[in-house]
């Protein structure tokens, strides 16, 4: 399905990009029309079927200076659209990025929640439109982004994090209940079948280079490595307290090895945004991180899996590398 509603673009305030595979649209295919009705005269919407079509739409939005881009989807949708948006605006470096409106309509909405966006999709859009009608300013928060291989997002995870997410996505239906079951199974294996746990939830072994340093700061096991620009990852946990937009940095955090008991002991510190055990963790701010591993690096970036398929991995390399660097700052509307 491809929807594009033509209006007088010079009067447009919001451009919505729909992801037809977003949870809300899968459950209710007419939900896109509900949002368009709510949008009224203040915007236009599109459902691109691929990256080329998405970039074409974003170029049109940029041409007419559409000031707000709304994302009808979850974390993966945000990553996909934002990556294309940054790519388009890099062609015009003097033009600021538009403000971002996350509608929280996906399966996983960690990024909007971490940025302070609350409420149902239609509620978020309705309140944005109402403020525009009343001539009131829209409140925003500033967040850094990270960039990896041309993609732009907010939260990267490797090692056991990626293997956990791969298991979570292995079922046709993903939900909070399925996530809870996956957590319970993981804890059970870690406590009572540690060899099975280590086999199924593998760590990443890599050298860690900070910024442009030529010598690694660490060489060994990274069991739960993260790079993040949002502090809150849900349920009140704020482990990435060094993700500070004012200092233009992201937070790199990883356990050097893995112990379920050590992880449990660290939960209160993660909950209140306090430094973790420095003897057992890597925990520092950075503008660039380079990981070099003898094995393929499996990762999740804003909920999407990389590589997407085992067939995409080249097994003839001596080393595998991923570079995580600070991306542009973005302004996110909070209602």
Structure tokens of 225? 């490595």
Q: Is the pLDDT of residue 104 over 50?
A: yes
Q: 224-281 pLDDT, tens per residue?
A: 899 999 988 765 678 898 898 888 999 999 988 877 767 777 767 666 667 766 678 8
Q: 152-195 pLDDT, tens per residue?
A: 999 999 998 888 888 777 766 666 666 677 777 777 777 777 77
E-strand spans in the chain?
14-18, 43-46, 68-72, 99-102, 140-143, 146-148, 151-153, 155-158, 204-210, 218-222, 226-228, 250-255, 281-286, 288-293, 299-301, 304-306, 320-326, 330-333
- Look at residue 51 and give its three-state secondary structure: helix
User: Model pTM?
Assistant: 0.89
Q: Are 155 and 226 a contacting pair, CB within 8 Å? A: yes
């Amino acid at each position: 399905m491809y929807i594009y509603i033509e209006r007088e673009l010079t009067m447009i305030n919001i451009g919505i990009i729909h992801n037809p595979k977003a949870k809300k649209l899968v459950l209710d295919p007419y939900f896109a029309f509900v949002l368009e009705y709510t949008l009224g005269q203040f915007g236009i919407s599109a459902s691109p079927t691929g990256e080329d079509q998405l970039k074409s739409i974003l170029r049109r939005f940029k041409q007419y200076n559409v000031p707000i881009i709304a994302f009808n989807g979850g974390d993966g949708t945000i990553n996909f659209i934002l990556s294309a948006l940054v790519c388009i605006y890099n062609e015009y470096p003097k033009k600021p990025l538009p403000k971002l409106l996350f509608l929280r309509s996906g399966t996983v909405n960690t990024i909007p929640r971490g940025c302070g966006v609350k409420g149902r999709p239609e509620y978020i859009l309705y309140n944005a439109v109402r403020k525009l009608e009343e001539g009131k300013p829209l409140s925003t928060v500033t967040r850094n982004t990270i960039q990896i291989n041309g993609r732009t997002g907010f939260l990267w995870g490797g090692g056991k994090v990626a293997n956990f997410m791969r298991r979570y996505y292995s079922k046709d239906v993903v939900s909070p209940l399925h996530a809870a079951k996956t957590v319970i199974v993981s804890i059970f294996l870690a406590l009572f079948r540690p060899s099975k746990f280590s086999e199924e939830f593998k760590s990443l072994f890599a050298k860690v280079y900070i910024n442009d340093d030529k010598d690694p700061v660490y060489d060994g096991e990274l069991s739960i490595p993260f790079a993040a620009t949002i502090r809150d990852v849900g349920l009140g946990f704020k482990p990435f307290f060094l993700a500070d937009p004012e200092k233009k940095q992201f937070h790199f955090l990883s356990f050097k090895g893995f112990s379920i008991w050590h992880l449990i002991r660290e939960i209160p510190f993660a909950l209140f945004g306090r430094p973790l055990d420095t003897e057992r963790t890597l925990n520092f701010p950075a503008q660039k991180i380079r990981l070099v591993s003898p094995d393929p690096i499996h990762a999740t970036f804003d909920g999407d899996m990389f590589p997407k398929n085992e067939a995409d991995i080249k097994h003839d390399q001596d080393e595998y590398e991923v570079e995580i660097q600070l991306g542009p700052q973005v302004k996110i509307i909070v209602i």
